[in-house]
Amino acid sequence: MTEEEQVEQVEQEAPIAGIGTMVFGKWDASEVICDDPGLAPYINLTTIGTPHSGGRHANAWFGKSKLSVIERFINNLMRTGKFSGKKQHCVKAYEQALDKIASKDGQNPLQKFIDAIVEAAPCEETTRIKVGAVSQPKAVDSSPSRRLDIALRNIAIGAATATAKSRRTLTEGIVSELSKAAEGDVNSYSVGKREEIERIAASAR
């Protein structure tokens, strides 16, 4: 086989650029880097079209690991409160938030989103162990899947509560929470909760 034929074969086998990697058709997810080796295998940014799977992974074993973290974050935004059930509204608010972050920093906003997840994910937490009739707290390491769950939940709660009793829109709340969390700012709700969880776990070792 000649060199030209080998090159043609490689080009045919290569995936089509942009399929499943362009989030909202604007930002390339293949450029994003996760600095946390524990979370990296569980962070899935593959998105094809609208981030709406209809819950087809709900009953599959570890099915949520195959679900895009973008859709999981949007689902967390509408858990309770005034955004409950308003998925289209949450999708638009998240897309506009990424637009604002991109215009402000001039970088890929998905990188800031992943950095915020890494900063908000607690490494350990507490559980209660019963010895006889006495129940006492004990520090345990968090699994990567649970760390991702807690990070997404707390970032979404922080973004939603930023709109409470104020004229802030959900877009502004997401931008504020992601910007603070990505920098590890303690004023961020999600980073503050992570430090609180780890502080309680450190005292229970």
Q: What sign for the dihedral angle of Cα 180, 76, 69, 110?
A: negative
Residue with tokens 């362009």: 22
Per-residue pLDDT tens for 58-97? 888 888 888 899 999 999 999 877 888 899 999 999 999 9
Report the C-alpha gap between 188 and 183 in whole angstroms.
9
Predicted local confidence at residue 81, as pLDDT: 79
Q: Take residue 96 and report the two structure tokens written for it.
A: 């506009």
Cβ burial of 44 (10 Å; 0-12, 13-18, 19+) is middle
Predicted local confidence at residue 1, as pLDDT: 55
3-state class (DSSP) for residue 138: strand
Strands 22-23 and 27-28: antiparallel
Report the C-alpha gap between 77 and 85 in whole angstroms.
9
CATH architecture of the domain with residue range 3-203: Orthogonal Bundle (1.10)
Report the C-alpha gap between 180 and 202 in whole angstroms.
24
What pTM was computed for the model?
0.85
3-state class (DSSP) for residue 139: strand
Cβ burial of 6 (10 Å; 0-12, 13-18, 19+) is exposed
Per-residue pLDDT tens for 32-49? 889 899 999 899 888 777
Give 101 or 24, the one with higher predicted confidence. Answer: 101
The dihedrals phi and psi of 134, each to the nearest 5 degrees, come to -105, 130
Break the chain into its structural domains and give their ranges.
3-203
User: Average pLDDT, stretch 47-58?
Assistant: 81
Please check the confidence at residue 14 and state whether its pLDDT lies above 60: no
Predicted local confidence at residue 17, as pLDDT: 47
Report the C-alpha gap between 127 and 85 in whole angstroms.
32
